[in-house]
A and B are shown apart, each in its own frame.
Chain A
Amino acid sequence: MENAEGIVDFAPVNDVIKGNVEVTIRPVVPDDAALIAGLFNSLSPESIYNRFLSPMRRASPELLDRATKFDCDVEFALIACIPGPDGCHAIGVGRFKCCGPDRAEAAIVVADAWQRKGLATLILRYLAKAAVQRGIYWFDSTIDPNNKKLLKFAEAVGFKGTTKYCDGLLSMETDVLKLFLKPQEC
């Protein structure tokens, strides 16, 4: 199925992560605000900081709006869900937004209990697939290099520091095609 711009829409997929857990990965839709709020509330302060580079405490309505209602021409987001007692339960979200003709800023957040199971890599791989369809060939990301776990992950999946420790942060980039074609399990 293609949308008006000729971009292939992302059909929901089921995939398996470590622990033999099946997750559904699908595009974020405006109705996902409650799911994303649930994910935010489950995050440790460290995970929140790594995602937003700020120790925010709550997902404000503005933040949830931004996370779920966006211009699909320049932004794309995926949500990873598993079945929960009250329906579906979000355990990860990944997104990118264009910041140049062939370049986008990317970020992923995974619920603490579901980290180190390959979910971030999986989301990244699907984000890469969607990015290539949109003519995006470079992902940028800004991380706190003091977070060794995150730095190791970024390097393992192919991100390289592009310099400038500015305010203690490291800008990184990766060739999306390489990322897409040679996914690493992390």
Chain B
Amino acid sequence: MDHRPWFDHYEKNTPKTIEIPELTLPQILDNTAKKWPNQRATIFEGAIISYKQLASYVDRLAGFLVSKGLKTGDRVAIQMPNLPQTIIAYYGVLRAGGVAVMVNPMYVAREIEHQLNDAEVKFAIVMDAYWVNLIKPIRDKLMLEHIVVTALADFLPFPKNLLFPLVGKKTGLVVSVEREANVYQLKEIIENRALKPPAMPSDPDATANLQYSGGTTGVSKAAVLSHRNLVSNAYQVQSWFTGMEEGKEVELAALPFFHVFGLTVCMNFGILAGAAQVLVPNPRDIKGMVNLIKKYRPTIFPAVPAMFNAINNFPGIEKIDISSIKGCFSGSAPLPIEVLERFETLTGGIITEGFGMTESSPVTHANPLHGLRKPGSIGIPLPNTDAKIVDLEEGTKEMPIGEDGELILYGPQVMSGYWNREDETELTIRNGWLYSGDIAQMDEDGYFYIVGRKKDMIIAGGYNIYPREIDEILYEHPKVLEAAAIGVPHETRGETVKVFIVVQPGETLTAEEVIEFCRERLAPYKVPRLVEFRDELPKSTIGKVLRRVLRDEELAKSK
């Protein structure tokens, strides 16, 4: 790549271009397990799994999946919070030559049905409670043939493994799974030493993930991410975290692995770096998270602004030693400067703010950890990544410094396209460049700034939400005449969902009813937090609904 303005701001130890080996993700795990067999791979509620153990569990699961007929390229759904089993399942699927379809545990039946059928999933590895409560009731509508289940307690240490089932029943996290054909227990599989793995997958261009994200037409679509995409991004992230030592770091894995941010920046990067991952299955439990920091002294903490903010505001945090944290990566929403400053004061560590998309595995930009960090900027492109600002209309003319345009991206982490969505792929990938749909500017130093969005999308707490999906659900309500969802600014989630409703004449409806209706049909992060009733929605002269008027009104109110 020719010289780019941002190269001048790379840290001394960060090369402009890094060499990315021709490896698959299971080969990365294999290498790490050979280099640091006894290093802790996962720490979960006090239970430790070493890299050597992790690799052997992965091998056994892969052997099992192949014995049940899994073929190279077959899709396997994985639905779990951050547990040791999630890593075993993910790497087990890839080790078997399968393609992982990570399913958000917050999804409701309607969303699960769409995703599993869109990906034509025949195998699933899921937490037992999700199997019993979410998937089994809709099994007739799915193509599932083999289901591997795991209990939350499966990897708890003694005596928690015995106590948890007693406590967990009240929370719905412990369920009884009936013995039935084609439903298997993960614990039994990984204890079966007779299971032998198939040949190690070695094609970096094979698909690793169908990574789902919202869709403009109201249903989610999948980015096809290859091993090369994901391996590249793990190496790129590693090159950015200067000052970290392989095989020695401890990472607080609070970002969910089913989300591409957690998948790469926590799980895959952690495995590449031989880090010990302290698993946080419920990142909303701030007390639990603070205790984990105290106890295991993590050095790396990738997170979203809401997590940094919650720790900043944890009662008595000033008296708790959280100084082990050296480096943090913040993404998914703008990080308020006061949140950054307080967290850095509390920890003595550094937060680098970055940018990524599901379609780019995800990280493309970040501020240098030990270099010039510009508040409000997403930073500069990572090694091997090129970026441009182009005109909004045609997307062909490069814009001058400081002018608005669409951010486009190029690099080994960019997806090949969307799964079974040729039209959308054609719009999004042009000559190998990923058209982000974000309106951005670049300054004279090569730092990028997001200033708007070309897509009608809400990003709340790192999740992409398309207003049309929410509108469609609202229009299903018999008392709703008209509805429109928009994103409104939120201090730590970036944005949150607000809906405007026009009630059918003669009917009454409350905000609580609207929220409850949505809660039954949408994952919690999509459920509107705010509801406003109106006599009519703003429309253009010929009746097109004008969401922007609603958004402008909200922005004016917040100023």
Contact = CB atoms under 8 A, between A and B. Distances in A.
Interface in A146-174: 146, 148, 161, 163, 165-169
Contact of B545 (A53, A75, A145): A53
Contact of A97 (B216, B454, B541): B541
Contact of B542 (A46, A96, A144, A167): A96
B439 to A, nearest CB: 7
A23 interface: no
Interface string A23-65: 0000000000000000000000110010111111100100100
Interface in A61-116: 63, 66-67, 75, 95-99, 104-107
B524 to A, nearest CB: 22
Given A55-B472, A146-B427, A168 B542 contact: no
A121 interface: no
Nearest to B549: A167
A6 B176 CA distance: 80
Q: Is the interface of B mostly helix, strand, loop or mixed?
A: mixed
Given A167-B456, A168-B457, A52 B475 contact: no
Contacts of A96: 542
Interface residues of A, number: 36
A123 to B, nearest CB: 14
B45 interface: no
A106 B544 CA distance: 11
Given A55-B218, A165-B392, A148 B427 contact: yes
A165 B455 CA distance: 8
Contact of A52 (B426, B476, B545): B545
Contact of A165 (B439, B472, B483): B439
Interface centre among B484, B543, B547 (most CB of A within 10 A): B543
Interface string B417-429: 0000001101100
B475 A148 contact: no
A145 B31 CA distance: 46
B246 interface: no
Given A52-B544, A54-B545, A167-B547, 15 more contacts: A52-B545, A54-B483, A55-B218, A60-B482, A75-B541, A97-B541, A97-B542, A106-B542, A107-B544, A144-B216, A148-B427, A161-B392, A165-B392, A167-B456, A168-B457
The 4 closest A-B pairs by CB, nearest first: A168-B456, A54-B545, A97-B541, A165-B454
Interface of A: 45-46, 49, 51-57, 60, 63, 66-67, 75, 95-99, 104-107, 142, 144-146, 148, 161, 163, 165-169
